[in-house]
Amino acid sequence: MTEILRTAHTFELSQAELTEIRALLDAAFEGGFSDEDWDHGLGGVHALVRDPDGTLLAHGSVVQRRVLHDGRSYRVGYVEAVGVRADRRRRGLGDRVMEVLERVIDGAYDAGALSASEDGARLYRARGWQSWPHRIEVLAPGGVVRLPDEEGSTYLRPAAGRPLPGPASPGDDTALVFDWRDGDVM
């Protein structure tokens, strides 16, 4: 049995598909997927994996964000809303979703970024994503704010042929400063 992979921009998804994706994510995150989390996953490219019978098994999306680092603004493909049905986990579906999203990042962005749970981090590290070892900040309405809880759970991946943003010199602790958004900023 071969799963079917589809990519689509948010505007190409029907209301029924969006409702189905949201239900998958609510179940995958066991009620910990908020309305703001849902909003963060919209407006970009979605990867959907279905059984041949049409059942949605996995989803992820990549949306554009801006990140400031060392005096430069980067256009980053931010991975959001990655979830796999509980009864289909550890069968490569997350890899299939990420393969598609990474292709989008390679073609459209300076780098990829995401915030990972401990469980999710295994998938991303295995695919070559690197934990950002320095400060994480956000350009909030009141100015730049440090996000110490996001330090250690933020991962980057260079887009094909482009270097990752990094420290200008050994010992440099220059922060990544992400754009503001409502809800959980990362």
Cross-strand bridge partners of residue 145: 138
Q: What is the CATH number of the domain that holds 96?
A: 3.40.630.30
Per-residue pLDDT tens digits for 71-116? 889 999 999 999 999 998 988 999 999 999 999 999 999 999 999 9
Answer whether residue 186 is part of any domain: no
Answer whether residue 174 is part of any domain: yes
Per-residue pLDDT tens digits for 155-183? 999 887 776 666 554 556 789 999 998 87
What is the full DSSP assignment across 78-130?
EEEEEEE-GGGTTSSHHHHHHHHHHHHHHHH-SEEEEE--HHHHHHHHHTT-E
Q: Which domain holds residue 100?
A: 4-178
Answer whether residue 183 is part of any domain: no
Give, in degrees to the nearest 5, the angle at Cα 139 between 136 and 141: 140
User: Does 120 score more than 90 pLDDT?
Assistant: no
Answer whether residue 185 is part of any domain: no
Tokens of 86: 């509980």
Structurally, how many domains does the chain consist of? 1
- Sign of the torsion formed by the C-alpha atoms of 104, 109, 112 and 114: negative
pTM reported for the whole predicted model: 0.92
Answer whether residue 151 is part of any domain: yes
